[in-house]
Amino acid sequence: MDYPFDAIVVGAGGAGLWAALELAREGVNTAVLTKLYPTRSHTGTAQGGVCAALGNLEEDHWEWHMFDTVKGGDYLVDQDAAEVLAREAIETVIELEHMGLPFNRTPDGKIDQRRFGGHTSNYGEAPVRRACFAADRTGHMILQTLYQQCIKHGVKFFDEFGVVDLLFEGGEPDAGGRAAGVVAQRLADGQLHTFRAKAVLLATGGFGRMFRITSNAHSLTGDGVALCYRHGIPLQDMEFFQFHPTGIVGIGILLSEAARGEGGTLLNDLGERFMERYAPKLMELAPRDMVSRAMYQEIRAGRGIGGKDYLYLDVRHLGRKVIEEKLPDITDFARIYQGVEPLTEPIPVQPTAHYAMGGIPTNVSAEVTRDEKSTVVPGLFAAGECACVSVHGANRLGTNSLVDLLVFGRRAGRQMARYAGGVERPRPIPDAVEAVRAELEAIRTRPSSGESAAAIRTDLQDVMMDKVGVYRDGKMLTAALARVRELEARHDRISITDCGSVFNTELIEARELGYLLDIAHATVSGALARTESRGAHSREDYPERDDKKWLKHTLAYRGTDGPTLRYKDVSITRFEPKPRTY
Amino acid sequence: MNVDLRILRYDPERDKAPHWETYAVAADPMDRVLDLLIKVKAENDGSLSFRRSCGHGICGSDAMLINSRNRLACRIRVDQLGKKISVAPLPGLPVVKDLIVEMSGFFGKYRSVKPYLINDQPEPERERLQTQKDRARYDDTTKCILCAACTSACPSFWARPEYVGPAAIVQAHRFIFDSRDEGAAERLEILADENGVWRCRTIFNCVDACPRGINITRAILEVSSAIVGRRG
Amino acid sequence: MALYSRSGRPRPQSGGFELAAWYYMRLSGVALFVLALTHFSVMHFLFDPAQEKSGFISARWDDIAIRSFDWLFLIVVLSHAFLGIRTVTMDYLQGGRRTLALMALSIVGIVVFVLGTLVVMTANIQPV
Amino acid sequence: MLLRYRGSEGMVAWAFHRISGIAIWAFVLLHVFDIYLSGGNPSVYDDLLKFYASPLGRILEVLLGGALLYHALNGIRILLMDFWPRLTAYHKQIWYANWVIFAVAGVPAAIIILKPIFGA
Ligand SMILES: Cc1cc2nc3c(=O)[nH]c(=O)nc-3n(C[C@H](O)[C@H](O)[C@H](O)COP(=O)(O)OP(=O)(O)OC[C@H]3O[C@@H](n4cnc5c(N)ncnc54)[C@H](O)[C@@H]3O)c2cc1C
Ligand code: HEM
Ligand code: SF4
Ligand code: F3S
Ligand code: FES
């Protein structure tokens, strides 16, 4: 089947939904394709808040927000983009309120705001109340509100349609081709469909599932990112992956930064508040990359709890009232998933793979770019966690991801509407689905004696966690690279037992594993090449930041023999790089 | 420990009717049912199909009938259930495959109650103001993750699948009692129907099933009271 | 089945009657709480059927107030029960069978109401 | 489905309410009929009274009274919640309170009715 549209949005998280909403308002004939029901998107798990310099409770300015973002990202942030982010954060949050988002309120009825790691007043002076929130379910409310508005504006949703390929007209992107649509598999019957459109947005979210311990959903396998990569579009800054300090041991479920914001402390086996040694001023509220590193050092020095690979998050001293009223979700998670009672026991935690700073390179209009000169791929857009604008640089600040979704989701929608108004719809592409069909059939029909996807996935997650985690060095990364190559070879021999077409989740998972392998490969290569430590990328063999050599973005191109790396300049407008101390 | 995991399997391309399969699974007491399902899929039978995403009770993908009650597979531990665990798809909804049920009807009903803010006044420059009290009025019903555990646990829904169901009423409640919304009358009109709030028989299965701890029945009765108040 | 999701439910039509029925069930419920329990208590505790002959009822019905009370009781019980059974029927039957059952119930309801009224109005039971 | 799903108090309360409602309805129908039939015929009426006085009659009567009492009490429980929705938070407690009232009022009543069977 072939469906002609004017615009297609792939992914119905915060970024995709806002783009779809803009398109619908502009009257552009749009389809949203999502492999999950929209309300299942991972945006719904965000708890903490969304930052905007509203100044509802104390003085605040978007310039301060921009500065914090740039500094938090260890100066790898593109400052033109950070400026857009900080400025438009304000109007998008207000617009969300107009759409009905139930923000918590101040006593005089305005949007309530709270403090969050790394957000300061007057360029780093003191913490500032900048995070707007709806209890501890800000992301949930953003997702719901945007979905509601899409329903109101009659957006067409194709629920449980997994996009498996991108279509281009006039050659592949590197030959100047333009986006022409996507191929999607309807999960309910396994059929492949082509969706033709002038403008295609990728908003498929992150890919934390390449790590063993992650806060990310099972469905976050980087589909959009990998598909771009396979079509010759480079991936930017993949070596920067954020580890959140407080994940539940073994499973990685996130205990929000709010726990430390409210005064929770981190303890080692000796009962010491070890952050004293690493960040004497900010202690537990230092940026995430720093806290995660400190935790790893403690564990390595044998001061993990019982000598094992975790530490304690202690909130007992906060008292029942604070714990139950302000940290209900955290309390709930600790009780359910660890069987720990936070009122009377410390909670075992360990860093958990959380957020991809890197992704599909785009400009501030969310147009995908394909080289170091930022040449635009006509008709192809990306926004949200899968994109790299780059507003997060080498390390994202808490709450800035949601802002990213709102600001650049909205910009994507507007730019797509503009673009779609000025071009012809691509012509039907003969045999558009054949390439993917062949790939899927090959997996489906291979005798069932081949490799198992589950086993390869476990191996991949282990390598990435153990060798490409919080700390890296040349040796570990070289070993990881070899291992990823080996896993790719095994993936070519994968076979499955389910030969059906209805909800063949085994087939889908096998394909998703392929995406993860591609992404892992680019990540490891970028990390191996970058011989410095910056933000979330910490090389033990190169512990210093090296602005002379490395103040530049990595672009990883897929090659037959692994990625080729090129580099792109960082845009610096207002703030010259300075040492990053807190 | 070893757990006997009984799963109601159904493959529309092979089976005439659903049938039980039992798997002996080695499990940790802290494992969640979702972990066991993933394990069975990896080790015993790759064709076992179920929905999941977030893995920690917030996306609403994996509501199913576990030991005769609706719950999220990712929120219920083995030690809470014992050594015999049975898992079946959500009752009252058409089964597509294994533990996957058809959800489009459920979402259709959700859409039918106009689940979005209705306010045609010109928007102010800044945010609209809302008192903390007004905000608290509808807080409970903003928690809903549309997992369908409630609707599919409701005997009134089993009897009449046309019933709009607790989840949709919860979503309507969230707006009807929002001081910024002006669409209450339209929504009450929609819900004042044989298949609307009047079909609720205060059975409370919905409340027991809700993973978000929403007092659904209260929300439903507040909506019916609003209808009574408006007409009476 | 539509390929993409759209709005689901047709607009409702019968809002008014269902509301009235719902409300009436509650009001008549309160009334019955008094009427039915009184009736039951009177018949079983103040008097015992074993001690009574038909004379008892005729004596009782000599009082027009008691006759009115019983008639009111009859109306409320029958209407409450009819609406209740209607609900149950509408829960479990559909289409033609539902219509049929509801018609049958209405007829039974009317017949019983007429019979009951006849008894209450005209019964003149003489002691043997 | 009803038997496969393990509902808690609320579901049991509803099932009993529905069953008791139908049972009382059936009885009311019979009751009106029997009184009508006996209306013109005192001897039929006396036979009827005899039946009510017999052991079987008395047991049925206790069941009827129990159903009526349960239905009435639970009806009030529903009503309370309908008009004060916040009471839903205590629906289980109200249900248990109903059983206390049920026992306090019902057991003596049952004894009074059943006593004659044991020849008192
Ligand atoms: C536990 C947790 C807490 C967080 N808390 C915060 C916070 O407090 N503040 C903050 O700013 N950020 C937070 N973040 C980060 C932030 O939530 C995410 O980065 C953000 O939600 C990503 O949104 P998105 O729109 O890019 O993608 P997602 O919301 O992940 O949505 C992805 C969408 O793409 C679809 N999709 C994927 N692949 C395909 C395909 N092949 N075909 C079709 N559709 C596809 C999915 O169905 C889904 O709809 C948190 C993240 C986590 C994991
Ligand atoms: C005495 C004769 C009575 C009969 C025959 C009777 C019958 C019924 C029936 C059949 C129902 C429908 C049940 C359902 O929808 O599930 C019902 C519902 C109801 N009854 Fe009664 N009832 C009687 C007395 C009472 C009394 C004394 C009360 C309470 C004070 C009462 C209160 C209610 C209420 C509130 C409902 C609505 C329940 C609901 O909608 O779920 N009834 N009744
Ligand atoms: S009300 Fe509760 S059970 Fe029902 S859909 Fe919402 S979250 Fe799920
Ligand atoms: S279970 Fe059903 S009947 Fe009402 S109280 Fe809940 S919706
Ligand atoms: S997987 Fe998201 S709720 Fe269970």
Angstrom CA distances, A357 to A536, C91, D108, stand at 9, 54, 75
Tell me the average pLDDT across A27-52. Answer: 95
Contact C73, C66 (CB under 8 A): no
pTM above 0.90, yes or no: yes
Mean pLDDT confidence for A126-133: 90
**Averaged over A436-456, what is the pLDDT?**
91
Cα A130 to ligand 5 centroid, rounded to whole Å: 30
Angstrom distances, CA of residue A233 to CA of A228, A404, C93: 5, 21, 60
For ligand 3, the distance from its centroid to the CA atom of residue A273, given in whole angstroms, is 41
User: In terms of DSSP bridges, do strands A161-169 and A126-132 run parallel, antiparallel, or are they unpaired?
Assistant: unpaired
- Residue in chain B lying closest to C11 (CA): B190
Q: How far apart are CA D86 and CA D88, in angstroms?
A: 5
Q: Do C12 and B193 touch (CB under 8 A)?
A: yes
- Distance separating alpha carbons of residues A298 and A295, to the nearest angstrom: 5
- 3-state SS class at C76: helix
Number of other CB atoms surrounding residue A229 within 10 Å: 23
What phi, psi does C9 have (nearest 5°)? Answer: -110, 135
| Reported confidence tier of residue C6, pLDDT bands at 50, 70, 90 | very low
Q: Which of D16, D10, D15, D18 is nearest to D92 (CA)?
A: D10
Task: Return the percentage of chain D with pLDDT > 90, whole number.
Answer: 50
- What is the predicted pLDDT for the residue at A192? 96
Q: What is the rounded CA–CA span in Å between residue B177 and residue B134? A: 8
CA distance A349 to A342: 12
Rounded Cα distance between C32 and A393, Å, is 73
pLDDT of residue C4: 43
Beta bridge partners of A32: A9, A157
Q: Chain B within 8 Å of A213 (Cβ-Cβ)?
A: no
Candidates C13, C18, C27, partner chain B, best to mutate (most B CBs within 10 A): C18
Substitution site in B32, B37, B53 for ligand 5 pocket (most atoms within 8 Å of beta carbon): B53
Q: Each residue of B72-126: pLDDT tens digit?
A: 999 999 999 999 999 999 999 999 999 999 999 999 999 999 999 999 899 999 9
Report the pLDDT value the prediction gives residue C18, as an integer from 0 to 100. 85
Q: Which residues contact D107 (CB under 8 A, 6 or more apart)?
A: none
Q: How far is the CA of B171 from the centre of ligand 3 (A)?
A: 9
Mutation for C interface: A5, A29, A156, A194, most C CBs within 10 A: A156
Task: Give the chain B residue nearest D14 (alpha carbons).
Answer: B203
At B71, the pLDDT band (50, 70, 90 cuts) reads very high
Contact between chains at A159 and C3 (C-beta distance less than 8 A)? no
Q: Which ligand is nearest to the CA of D8?
A: 4
Whether A528 shows a pLDDT value over 90: the answer reads: yes
Q: How do the domains of chain B map onto residue ranges?
A: 2-101, 104-231
**Which ligand lies nearest the alpha carbon of B63?**
5
pLDDT digits (tens, 9 = 90+) for A321-366: 888 877 888 889 999 999 999 999 999 999 999 999 999 999 999 9
CA distance A439 to A465: 29
By the CB < 8 Å criterion, does B218 face chain A?
no
Give start-end residues of each CATH 3.90.700.10 domain in chain A. Answer: 247-351
Q: Where in chain A is the domain with CATH 1.20.58.100?
A: 434-541
Chain C contacts of A186, Cβ < 8 Å? 3
Longest dimension (CA), chain B: 62
Residue B58 Cα: closest atom of ligand 5: 3
pLDDT above 70: percentage of residues in chain B: 99
Q: Is residue D15 predicted with pLDDT exceeding 50?
A: yes
Question: How confident is residue C5, by pLDDT bands cut at 50, 70 and 90?
Answer: very low
Has residue C128 got a pLDDT over 60?
no
Residue range A251-278: average pLDDT?
90
User: Distance between CA A334 and CA A349 in Å, rounded?
Assistant: 10
Nearest to B203 among D1, D11, D83 (CB): D11
The atom number, within ligand 4, closest to the CA of D14 reads 3
CB B207 less than 6 A from any atom of ligand 3: no
Q: What is the DSSP letter of D4?
A: T
Residues A473-512 as b or e (16 or more Cβ within 10 Å = b): beebbeebbebbeebbebbeebbbebebbbbbbbbbbbbb
The 3-state DSSP class for residue B201 equals coil
pLDDT-derived band of residue C127, with 50, 70 and 90 as boundaries?
Answer: very low
Chain D hits for C125, Cβ within 8 Å: 38-39, 42, 45
Q: How far is the CA of B43 from the centre of ligand 1 (A)?
A: 29
Q: Are A72 and A122 in contact (CB under 8 A)?
A: no
Q: Which residue(s) pair with A412 in the sheet?
A: none
* pLDDT score for C1: 34
Name the architecture of domain B104-231. Answer: Orthogonal Bundle (1.10)
A468 and A536 in contact (C-beta within 8 Å)? no
The band of D7, judged by pLDDT with boundaries at 50, 70 and 90, is confident
pLDDT confidence band for B232 (50 / 70 / 90): very low
Percent of chain A with pLDDT over 90: 87
DSSP H or E stretch at residue A290: helix A288-298
The residues, ordered by sequence, that sit 6+ positions from B119 with a Cβ below 8 Å of its Cβ are: A100, B180, B181, B182, B183
Greater model confidence, D47 or B177: B177
Amino acid, single-letter form, for residue A154: G
Burial B27-62 (b: 16+ CB within 10 A, else e): beeebbbbbbbbbbbbebbbbbbbbbbbbbbbbbbb
- The residue in chain A having the minimum alpha-carbon distance to the alpha carbon of residue C4 is A158
- Classified by CATH at the fold level, domain B2-101 comes out as Ubiquitin-like (UB roll) (3.10.20)
* Beta carbons within 8 Å of A206's beta carbon, 6+ residues apart: A42, A216, A220, A222, A355, A356, A385, A386
Q: Which residues pair with A471 in a beta bridge?
A: A538
Span from the CA of A10 to the centroid of ligand 5 (angstroms): 21
Given the residues A178, A209, A260, A288, the one annotated as active site: A288
| Residue A480 token pair | 């990881």
Query: Which stretch, A124-133, A165-174, B184-193, C33-42, has highest mean pLDDT?
Result: A165-174
CA distance A435 to A448: 22
pLDDT of residue A325: 73
Average pLDDT over residues C25-47: 84
Longest Cα–Cα distance in chain A: 68
Percent of chain B's residues with pLDDT above 90: 95
**DSSP assignments along D29-95, one per residue:** HHHHHHHHHHHT-HHHHHHHHHHHHSHHHHHHHHHHHHHHHHHHHHHHHHHHHHHSGGGGGGHHHHH
Q: How confident is residue A205, by pLDDT bands cut at 50, 70 and 90? A: very high
B171: burial class by Cβ within 10 Å (0-12, 13-18, 19+)? buried
Task: Compute the nearest-CA separation of C11 from chain A (Å).
Answer: 17
**Which residue in this structure is represented by tokens 């539509």?**
C2
Between residues C14 and A355, the one the model is more confident about? A355
Contact state of B155 with D89 under an 8 Å Cβ cutoff: no
Mean pLDDT of A231-257: 95
- CATH code reported for the domain at A434-541: 1.20.58.100
Q: Tell me: the pLDDT tens digits for A553-577?
A: 999 999 988 999 999 999 999 999 9
Please give the Cα distance from A309 to A333 (Å, whole number). Answer: 20
- Of A445-449, B3-7, B190-194, the range with the lowest mean pLDDT is A445-449
DSSP states along B155-170: HHHHH-TTS-HHHHHH
D105 lines ligand 2 (CB under 6 A): no
Closest C-alpha to ligand 4, atom 2: B154
Tokens of B113: 């109650």
State the average pLDDT over residues A49-72.
95
Is the CB of C19 inside 8 Å of chain B's CB atoms? yes
Residue A116, pLDDT score = 84
The pLDDT-based confidence of A133 (bands split at 50, 70, 90) is: very high
Query: B-C interface: how many C-beta pairs under 8 angstroms?
Result: 65
Is a pLDDT exceeding 70 seen at residue A446?
yes
Q: How confident is the model at residue A136 (pLDDT cuts 50, 70, 90)?
A: confident
Which region among A77-86, A271-280, C115-124 has the lowest average model confidence (pLDDT)?
C115-124
C partners (3+ CB pairs within 8 A) are: A, B, D
pLDDT at C47: 65
Residues of chain D positioned with their CB less than 8 A from the CB of B204: 7-11, 88, 91
> Does the active-site annotation cover A427?
no
pLDDT of D48: 78
**Topology of domain A247-351, CATH:** Flavocytochrome C3; Chain A, domain 1 (3.90.700)
ipTM: 0.92
Whether residue A109 has pLDDT greater than 60: yes
**C-beta separation of C75 from C36 below 8 A:** no
Mean predicted lDDT score pLDDT of chain A: 94
Provide the sign of the torsion angle of the four alpha carbons A279, A285, A287, A289, taken in this order: positive
As a whole number of Å, the end-to-end CA separation of chain B is 60
* B199–chain A nearest CA distance, Å: 25
Q: Of the ligands numbered here, which is closest to the C-alpha atom of D78?
A: 2
Mean pLDDT confidence for A90-110: 96
Reading the block at residue B127, the tokens are: 């945010």
Q: Which amino acid is at B204?
A: F
Q: Which atom of ligand 2 is nearest to the CA of C91?
A: 15
- Rounded CA-CA distance A349/A366 in Å is 36
Q: How far apart are CA A49 and CA A128, in angstroms?
A: 14
Nearest to A404 by CA among A369, A371, A370, A356: A356
Give just the sign of the alpha carbon dihedral A152, A154, A160, A161. negative
Name chain C contacts of B156, Cβ cutoff 8 Å: 91
Cis check: omega of the bond before A452, within 30 degrees of 0:
no
